[in-house]
Amino acid sequence: MILKCNIDGTQYTFNENANKPLKRILEENIPAFPSNSSCTGASCGNCLIIFNNSLRYSCLIPAFEANNATITTYEGFVKTRGFHDIERAYEHTGSQPCSICFKSKTLIIETLINRLEQKNLLLGKASLRTKIQSLDKQLIESELNVIPCKCMEINEIEKLTNLAYVYRSNRSARKPQIS
């Protein structure tokens, strides 16, 4: 089948088998995409991607489901300013994930920041003058269970997420408004 999707901001068109796992397609066509995942659905977490704004295992997505999808891999995310916020938070707190799960945990933190952003927007507390609402620990725990590596505590992730969110909000506040 002809598969059209947006990977890391670039529009791609592939001619692939309809049932081929997305992980294989990414491995074959995106040079930087890691090929260290071979668990096929056993939740090793090495093939995590952001698929249409939600975190997914790319090994469990068939090609036909990825048609017209927007995909962000860690390799693409590194080039964005969003990654810079998380990197600054790593530096500031002095804690960061181990080398095995660094990529997947960074993507998890990114999705947590997006959720935090939504939560604060909903509560009308996007302004920095008011106290930032944190995410539930239960939610953070359930998101972290997506990968088996337990190198970081929930409190650490919560702190990192809040800090990266502050950096991001500051950056957005400085942006000139388009009228």
Partner 1 sequence: MYTGVTAVPENLRSPDIYQPKTIAELLLIKSKNPNAMLWGGGTYIMADPNYYPNPEAKDIIRLNKISELFRIQHTDKYIEAGSMVTIQHLINNGNTILSKPVIQALSSVGNTMIRNSATLGGSLSIFNFRTSICCILATIGATAELRFFNRLNYSRWINVSKLYDNAGNFLYADKAFITKVRIPAAENQFAQIFLTIDSPLRQQKNSLSFGLQYTVSQGNIMQPSVCITFPVSGFVFSGEIENRINSINLPVNPDAIVSVSEQISLLVKKNCPNASDLQMERVKRLIQKVLFDINSRYLAG
Q: How far is the CB of 95 from partner 1 (least distance, A)?
A: 23
Q: How far is the CB of 170 from partner 1 (least distance, A)?
A: 30
| 104 vs 162 by CB, closer to partner 1 | 104
| 85 vs 143 by CB, closer to partner 1 | 143
Q: How far is the CB of 11 from partner 1 (least distance, A)?
A: 19
Helix axes 154-174, 137-144, angle to 10 degrees: 100
Residue numbers at the binding site for partner 1 (CB under 8 A): 1-2, 15-21, 24, 40-43, 54-57, 59-62, 64-65, 67, 142-143, 145-146
Please tell me the distance from the alpha carbon of residue 116 to that of residue 97, in angstroms, as a whole number.
20
Q: Cβ distance 166 to 132 under 8 Å?
A: yes
Please tell me the distance from the alpha carbon of residue 78 to that of residue 158, in angstroms, as a whole number.
21
| 16 vs 85 by CB, closer to partner 1 | 16
**Token output for 132:** 């930032």
Please tell me the distance from the alpha carbon of residue 61 to that of residue 151, in angstroms, as a whole number.
27
